């Protein structure tokens, strides 16, 4: 089993080309964000196609915890689905049911036409592989979620707990650098390890890749297409204007 820390990238732009660029970089995985991103499912499918072509597993963060969103993302070929702000074990069990084929779950039998099953050409193989490799990632983003994280991690079908430091700090009314955020991150990783689950998160002040790996995290994101593009463009234009100002002065 690969024990390296898996390094990922968020993709918020509704662009297969952006996804292809991210995949070509060599990230271990990428997340197509439909919670805060503006892509629809048709565009998300093409983004997944672009990522898959580069060998980068595509995960999809859905905007809400519904049967329809989970089913559509997985049938479209997502390596796993990420559900924001889960705060009770009952919801976790319901979500696991949506993601899991029967008899254990209630995922709809759409393999005859699903892209994930090669448009039906590999229906049986996809169904079997999903039991072994499919991912259901549940985000712990509030003190309420942290309080029941062990119960959530214990639900069959959950593969990863994902700590969301930004929302967690907002719930506290605190800055990201607040020590309580790092302590919560440490606790989510501990709970995930104890349950035999993966642990995912993003870097935040005081907790970079090395610190998070030491906590026990298996999947960490420190980049996003938008977060990298905006400051790079701003810096480029500012530098150009400074250069012209010097040249004309």
Q: Over the range 61-75, which residues count as b (16 or more CB within 10 Å of their CB) and which as e? A: bbeebeeebbbbbbb
pLDDT at 130: 86
Would 38 be classed as within a structural domain? Answer: yes
Kindly list the distances between the CA atom of residue 5 and the CA atoms of 46, 134, 136, 140, in Å, as whole numbers in the listed order: 27, 19, 19, 20
Tell me which residue range forms the domain holding 202. Answer: 6-248
pLDDT at 3: 66
pLDDT at 12: 97
φ, ψ of residue 62 to 5 degrees: the values are -90, 160
Would 1 be classed as within a structural domain? Answer: no
Print pLDDT tens along the chain (249 aa): 456 899 999 999 999 999 999 999 999 999 999 999 999 999 999 999 999 999 999 999 999 999 999 999 999 999 999 999 999 999 999 999 999 999 999 999 999 999 999 999 999 899 888 888 889 999 999 999 999 999 999 999 999 999 999 999 999 999 999 999 999 999 999 999 999 999 999 999 999 999 999 999 999 999 999 999 999 999 999 999 999 996 443
Cα separation, 157 vs 44, whole angstroms:
24
Would 178 be classed as within a structural domain? Answer: yes
Would 203 be classed as within a structural domain? Answer: yes
33: domain CATH number is 3.20.20.60
Would 159 be classed as within a structural domain? Answer: yes
Catalytic residues: 36
Tell me which residue has tokens 């700090």: 169
Cα separation, 244 vs 242, whole angstroms:
5
Number of domains composing the chain:
1
pLDDT at 249: 39
């Amino acid at each position: 089993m690969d024990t390296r820390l898996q390094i990922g990238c968020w993709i918020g732009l509704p662009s297969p080309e952006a996804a292809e660029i991210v995949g070509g970089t060599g990230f271990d995985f990428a997340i197509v964000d439909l919670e805060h991103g503006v892509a629809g499912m048709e565009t998300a499918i093409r983004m997944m196609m672009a990522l898959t072509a580069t060998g980068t597993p595509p995960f999809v963060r859905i905007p809400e915890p519904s049967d329809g969103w989970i089913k559509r993302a997985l049938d479209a070929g997502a390596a796993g689905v990420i559900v924001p702000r889960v705060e009770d074990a009952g919801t976790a069990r319901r979500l696991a049911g949506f993601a899991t084929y029967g008899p254990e779950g209630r995922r709809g039998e759409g393999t005859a036409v699903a892209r994930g099953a090669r448009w039906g050409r590999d229906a049986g193989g996809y169904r079997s592989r999903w039991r072994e490799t499919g991912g259901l990632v549940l985000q712990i983003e509030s003190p309420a979620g942290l309080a029941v994280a062990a119960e959530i991690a214990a639900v069959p079908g959950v593969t990863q707990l994902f700590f969301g430091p930004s929302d967690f700090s907002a719930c506290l009314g605190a800055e990201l650098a607040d020590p309580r955020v790092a302590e919560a991150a440490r606790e989510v990783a501990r709970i995930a390890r104890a349950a035999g689950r993966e642990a995912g998160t993003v870097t935040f002040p005081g907790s970079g890749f090395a610190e998070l790996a030491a906590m026990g995290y298996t999947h960490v994101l420190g980049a996003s297409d938008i977060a990298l593009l905006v400051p790079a463009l701003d810096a480029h234009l500012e530098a150009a204007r400074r250069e012209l100002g010097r040249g004309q002065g």
